Structure formats: structure tokens, C-alpha cells
A = this chain, B = another copy of it.
Amino acid sequence: MVEHRLDDVFQALGHPTRRAMLTDLAARERTVGQLAEPFAISFAAASKHVKVLERAGLLERTVIGRTHVCHLAPEPIEEAYRWLGRYERFWQERLDALEAELRREHDAS
């Protein structure tokens, strides 16, 4: 079931440290150490975050010698994006309606 992975993906995205790591990885490949560096947490804690991202399929790891090089993986975020996209249309309609209403109220005043 595809739905199962969405649990992991959205949950992984639900922590600012992990989102920052993804942002970092969007620019270039990063070792676990490099990913950990910006944060005031222990190396082991950062390593756990990396593992969460990996379990969600958002990140893939290539072990080169003693360093682990990480890069983004495309599929799961695509899934999440498409899931949200189903609602995006709905919400866009609502936003348009809201905007129109506010405009009406403003014009009436």
C-alpha cells in the first residue's frame, strides 16, 4: 500500500531539523557529519534524524570508506506532493471564494 509510506514521509517532514537537512541536501550531497554540523545537537541525534529521513525514503546513503554520503531521493516527496495536490485544487477554490468575499465586503464599506 502506498499510503503506508506517506505516514513516514509526512512524519519525517514534521521536524524542523529534518526539513533543514533536506534543504541542505537540495543544494548538494552531504555527509552525515556535514548534515549534523549546523545543529546544536549531538552527532548521534543528527544521525538518528538522518535515519528517519532514510526510512521515509527521502534520502539515500552511499557509504564511501568511513563516510556516509547522502543525497535526496525523488519518489516519496513526489507522492506527498501529489497527495497534497488533490486538496490544493479544493483549497484554491476556497481561497478564491474567500478573497472574493473580502473584496465584496471591502467594496461595500
A8, B53: Cα distance in complex, Å: 18
Could you say which of A33-41, A42-50, A79-87 contacts chain B?
A: A79-87
Secondary structure class of chain A's binding surface, majority of residues: helix
How many copies of this chain?
Answer: 2
Pick from B16, B26, B87, B95: contact of A3, CB below 8 A: B16
Least CB distance, A1 to chain B, in whole angstroms:
10
Instruction: Give the number of residues in A that approach B within 8 Å (Cβ atoms).
Output: 33
Which residues on the B side are within 8 Å of A69 (C-beta)? none
- Across the interface, do A81 and B88 meet the contact criterion of CB distance under 8 Å? yes
- Our pick among B14, B26, B84, B85 for the contact of A11 (Cβ within 8 Å) is B14
- On chain B, the residues within 8 Å of A75 by CB distance are 91, 95
Nearest residue, chain B, Cβ from A8: B14
Set of chain B residues within 8 Å of A102, measured between Cβ atoms: none
